[in-house]
Structure 1
Amino acid sequence: MALLIETGLSDWMSDDDIANEIRKMHPDTDVRTPDTIGDAGEITMVAVVGLQNDHPKRLPNLKLVQKLGAGVETIVSNPNLPDHVRIARLKPDAPAQGIAEWFVAYILHRQRNMAFHEAAQRKSEWLPKAPGFSPDTVVGVLGLGHIGARSARMLRAIGFQVVGWSRSPKEIEGVTCLHGDDALPKVLGQCDHVCAILPSTPQTIGLFDADMLAAMKPGSQLLNAGRGDLIDESALIEALDRGTPGRAVLDVTNKEPLPADSPLWAHPGVTITPHVSGWHLGEALADVAENFRRLSSGAPLLHEVDRTRGY
């Protein structure tokens, strides 16, 4: 039994870096990379950012796909992945902290009129403008799992009024938690900022269509660090032109990298960051090594995905 690290990325941690970190934690683990794969029939677990269509064919004895992150929709929907192959995701603290900080950074950027003051400085103009007052500002957090709950608590600690929304009931101290389809438009209508950290499921794909965007508070800000397919991008551009919402900050898009000809790049109401909000894995690689140990011993996996639910 061997663990293959194959991210397929050139602009993040290298396969060798990840493999070396796992070897430090568990020296006895047989960790391989594409350059050192050897007999592919010995690979029982692969750690990936995205599952390639030929992985199941190349790895005939694959038993577990470990996502190096949270979103698993493309792995779950991969038609080439046999039913017996299990899927696990990560729920580490480091990227949850990073995504929460990303939400806070762009909310405060707007609250404190930073773009306005930067533009005034370029023109050598002294133009006082009142910032937003946090206790009077309502921030919505859509998705109250590990990352969403972390974000809601951080925003509440700063002093914002925080309203959380999820499909099932949740409780977070200091946060007004609502749930169910009927509650979502009500949440959107009262929020000055909306932080989306929802998974990609049949229920959430295209959730922010023209009607849902129209339910938002005029002039509000939509921030998406969940999945790109949550938002109908054509509908978003039309909604921004009407001012409802007034701005969008997107760390994820329907297609990544975002094509150079996408109108989102040049729209004055859009800020794009290239999927960097949850950059660091931190202690999460320990969970990868632990899942390999558990797979080998037959123990229950950490953060196993229910393939029928999609998360």
Structure 2
Amino acid sequence: MALLIETGLSNWISDADLAKEVLHQSPGADVRTPDTIGDPAEITMVAVSTLQDAHIERLPNLKLVQKLGAGVETIVGNPNLPDHIRVARLRPDAPAQEIAEWFLAHILRAQRHLGDYEAAQRRSEWSPKAPRITSETKVGVLGLGTIGTRTALMLKGLGFQVMGWSRSPKQIDSVTCLHGQNVLPELLGQCDYVCAILPSTLQTVGLFDADILAAMKPGSHLLNAGRGDLIDETALIAALDAGTPGHAVLDVTSQEPLPLDSPLWQHPGVTITPHVSGWHLGDALADVARNFERLSSGQPLLHEIDRGRGY
């Protein structure tokens, strides 16, 4: 039994460095990379950022796909993935903190009018503006898993009014938590900022259509660091032109990299970051090592996905 680490990414942590860290967590484990793969029939687990059909085709004894992150929709939605192959994700603390900081950075940028001051500087113009008052600012956090909870508590700790929303009931100390799609428009209409960190499921794909966008507070900010398929981007452009919402900050888009001809690039109401809100895995690679050990010994896996539900 062997573990193959093959992220499929050239602009992230290298496969060799990831393998080195997994071996540090589990000395003696049979950990391989594309350069040291050996006999593909010996691979029983693959750790990936994106699952390729080539993995399924060339690894005949594959039993587990370990996602090096949280979003697993493209894996569980792959029609070529046999039913017997299990899927697990990570719940790392490091990127949860980083994504919460990403939300906070963009909120504070708007609160303190930093974009306006940068534009004023280019015009050699001295134009003071009163910052928005934190305690009078309401933020909605959509998705109350590890990352959403971290985000909600960080913002609440800084004095923002915070409301959370999820599919099923959740409780977070000092945060007003709502659930169910019928209450979403009401929440959106109250919030100055909406932080979306939702998974991709049948219920969330295209959730932010023209009607939901129209329910947002005029001039509000929509920040998405979850999945790009949450938002109907054509509807978003029209909504931004109408001022509801007033601005969108997108770390994820429906197609990545974002095509050069996408109108999102040049729209004055859009800020794009290239899927960088959460970068480091921190100590989560220990869970990759533990899952390889658990798979080998027949123990329950950490963070295994229910393929039927998609999360």
Q: Which TM-score band (shorter chain)?
A: over 0.9
Q: How does 1:143-162 map to 2 (within 5 A)?
A: 143-162=143-162
| Cα drift, residue 88 of structure 1 | 0.2
Whole-Å separation in 2 of the counterparts to 1:160 and 1:98: 19
Q: 1:58 offset after TM fit, Å?
A: 0.5
1:292 aligned partner: 292
SS in 2 for 1:222: strand
Equivalent residue, structure 1, for 2:207: 207
Counterpart residue identity of residue 207, structure 2 = L
In the TM superposition, residue 42 of structure 1 has moved relative to its aligned partner by 0.4
What secondary structure sits across from 1:54 in the alignment?
helix
Matched, 1:15 2:23: no
Q: Which residue of 1 aligns with 2:266?
A: 266
Q: After alignment, is 204-213 or 26-35 more displaced?
A: 26-35
1:124-167 CA distances to partner (integer Å, 9 max, x unpaired)?
Answer: 22211011101000000000011100100001011100000001
Amino acid in the other structure paired with 2:150? R
Deviation at 1:123, TM superposition (A): 2.2
**In 2: Cα distance, 1:202 partner to 1:223 partner:** 21
Instruction: Specify the SS of the correspondent of 2:23.
Output: helix
Q: Which residue of structure 2 aligns with residue 279 of structure 1?
A: 279
Cross-structure match for 1:137: 137
Correspondence list, 1:26-65, <5 A = 26-65=26-65
Over 6 Å off, 4+ runs: none
Once the 2 structures are TM-superposed, how far is the Cα of residue 267 of structure 1 from its aligned partner? 0.2
Q: Mind listing any 5+ residue stretches in structure 1 that lack a counterpart?
A: none
Normalising by structure 2, report the TM-score.
0.99
**Structure 2 residue runs without a partner (length 5+):** none
Cα deviation code 1:179-228 (max 9, x no counterpart): 01111000000000000000000000000000000000000000000000
Helix, strand or coil: the match of 1:287?
A: helix
- Among the aligned pairs, what percent are the same residue? 75
Give the 5 Å matches for 1:155-304. Answer: 155-304=155-304
Q: Which residue of 1 aligns with 2:3?
A: 3
Q: Helix, strand or coil: the match of 2:239?
A: helix
1:79 to partner: Cα distance = 1.0
Matched positions, count? 311
State the shift of 1:24 in Å: 1.5
Aligned equivalents of 2:246 and 2:150: distance in 1? 26
SS of match in other structure, 2:177: strand
CA RMSD of aligned residues (A): 0.6
Taking the aligned partners of 1:149 and 1:59, their CA distance within structure 2 comes to 37
How many Å apart are 1:122 and its aligned residue?
Answer: 2.2
Which TM-score applies when normalising by structure 1?
0.99
Paired AA for residue 250 in structure 1: L
Which whole-Å CA distance do the structure 2 matches of 1:33 and 1:127 have between them? 55
Q: Which amino acid in 2 is paired with 1:298? A: G
| Alpha-carbon distance between aligned partners in 1 of 2:281 and 2:84, rounded to the nearest angstrom | 28
Which secondary structure state, in structure 2, belongs to the residue aligned with residue 223 of structure 1?
A: strand
Q: CA deviation at 1:28?
A: 1.0
Shift of 1:103: 0.2
